[in-house]
Amino acid sequence: MTRGQGPTVRRRRLAGELRRLREAADLTIDDVAERLECSASKVSRVETGNVGVTPRDARDMLGLYGVTGQEADALVQLAREARKRGWWHAYSEVFTGTFVGLEADASSLRAYQALLVPGLLQTRRYAHAVIRAMRPDSTETEVSRRVEARLERQALLQDAHPPEYWAVVDEAVLHRAVGGAEVMAEQLWRMVDIAALPHATIQVVPFGGGAHPGMEGPFLILGFPEQADHDVVYVDSTNGGLYLEEDSEVHRYALMFDHLRAAAAKPDDSLDMIEAAARRFEKHDN
């Protein structure tokens, strides 16, 4: 699949166009809701991309905004394409919101993690230990389901047209014995393997680097190939993620990531640190 051509990004693109066209028509959300005899909350959710829009609803809105002909036809077709279901819909009980769809469409992913190996790099056993620890009230079936969903996401890095992936982790990630020594050794060698891919880079911020911008918490910057699809920052939390799309917010996190890359060991030196940690865990396991 070509980057940026999935249903989630198309829905986001359509939402932005509908919002822009409404504003150009000098109409408020309440105006649209009244004329189309629907709720203002529905119009708002459509314009934020939180819900899909049917081709009929899209055509009704476009007619109200005075958009006709080829432009209207193209946007109605975009509405059709945005309603297609991605593989992640099979895990609807696991994935809420639009994160996985955006991740699947991104052309670049810049991730920072302070305590854990990023999800796209986790082995099965490491992921199981993390999810079990973070969801102590979940059943084993629920934990296993979340593990499988996480592993499905990882196919992204082996795609025929993968995104550029750049991860920065704190050195603490290499020392926290998640799942025990054997699990950690396996996990760290997995990171070494991923770092060998031409589209992947992994860096480690050493303890000796002192304070750094990433101490605020983990985040992911998703970039897209089309100029119309602006970058998104995803700030993860156990209660659900926060999406930041304002230019000023995205710029702040991009600057933070640049500072983190500068504070981190160079990629080759980072790889040496990861390999050394893997050997330490192997030694403890024997």
Q: What mean pLDDT, rounded, does the chain reach?
A: 89
For domain 7-84, give the CATH number: 1.10.260.40
Distance CA 142, CA 93 (A): 9
Dump pLDDT digits (tens) for 15-33. Answer: 888 898 899 999 999 998 8
pLDDT score, position 239:
63
Residue with tokens 């209207």: 72
The structural domains of the chain, with segments of one domain joined by +, span 7-84, 89-285
Give dist(CA 78, CA 81) in Å, integer: 5
Cβ neighbours for 176, distance < 8 A, ≥ 6 positions apart: 115, 116
* Model pLDDT, residue 97: 65
Beta strand segments in 24-146, E = 108-113
Q: Strand, coil or helix: what is 32?
A: helix
Give the closest residue to 166 by CA, choosing from 260, 272, 269: 260
Q: How does residue 74 score in pLDDT terms, banded at 50, 70 and 90?
A: confident
Q: What is the mean pLDDT of residues 242-254?
A: 90
Of 254 and 240, which is predicted with more confidence? 254
pLDDT bin (cut points 50, 70, 90) of residue 269 is very high
Is the pLDDT reported for residue 185 higher than 80? Answer: yes
| 57 or 88, higher pLDDT | 57
Read off the pTM: 0.79
Give the orientation angle of helix 69-82 with respect to helix 55-64, to 10 degrees: 150
Which tops the pLDDT comparison, 286 or 151?
151
pLDDT at site 229: 79
Class in CATH terms, 89-285: alpha beta
Strand partners of residue 235? 242
